[in-house]
Structures are given as structure tokens and as C-alpha cells.
Amino acid sequence: MSTATAHTASNTTPTSVSAETVRDWLANGEALLIDVREPDEYADEHIEGAVLLPLSSLDAGQLPAVNGKRRVLQCLTGKRSGIALQKLADQGVTDLLHLDGGLLAYKKAGGATIEADEAVAA
């Protein structure tokens, strides 16, 4: 249950970040969210602005540019984003974080999502 901060005081860099922090970073344009779920899951519900890069085919070369923002990996519960974090670290990418608790924690923290039924007119 660690929360990333803008500064690190030691050699260890935080790897997970709280849903509240991610919500604030997104609101302030300070983070780029990378959703590592599969396309059907993303289509059902996702966080606005999240870039889809499924874990099943994830490669470091696919990552969007930083452009001064923190890159945060996200899935439904935090398990797959943690796996993706390690997979990308093994490929030499060490500047990533992952959303602790995933989309479910983000929603519980008051973060808004886009759901498939919102795009379908009844």
C-alpha cells in the first residue's frame, strides 16, 4: 500500500501509486494512464484518456512518449499492471508506476470512468 510521491528520498523508487494520487495527477494533466487490459475490457469501461496497450502483446517499443508526464500502468485490480511493470522493467523501462488496486480502486476513490452503455443510446 505505497503511495508514490513526486520526490524520492532514497535509492528505491516507488512502483505503485494510490488511486487518489492518480486521480489528482490526471485532473492536473500530470500523468499518462496506460491500460493493460484487453480491448473488450477497455471497451466495457475505462478511465478517460487512458491509452490501451494490452499485457498480452505489451512491448516497451509501444509505450507512448513521456512528454513530461508520469506514466502509470493500470488494469482492473492492479495484478496485471504489476506484471506489466515487471515485464517492462525487464526490457529496461524503469520510469513507470502502476495504479495500486486498479480501476476498481480508482472508482472507489471517486474517479470517473467511461462505460460502454454511456455511448449507446437507448
Q: Which of 83, 2, 74, 86 is nearest to 32 (CA)?
A: 74
Note the pLDDT of residue 1: 40
Residue 112 is which amino acid?
Answer: A
Note the pLDDT of residue 9: 35
Note the pLDDT of residue 88: 95
List all residues 6 or more positions away from 56 whose beta carbon is below 8 Å from its beta carbon.
38
Note the pLDDT of residue 66: 85
C-alpha span between 60 and 63 (Å, rounded): 6
Per-residue pLDDT of the chain (122 residues; tens, 9 = 90+): 434 433 333 334 569 999 999 999 999 999 999 999 999 999 999 999 999 999 999 999 999 988 899 999 999 999 999 999 999 999 999 999 999 999 999 999 999 999 987 554 44
Note the pLDDT of residue 10: 35
73, containing H or E segment: strand 70-74
Note the pLDDT of residue 34: 97
CA 114 to chain centre: 15
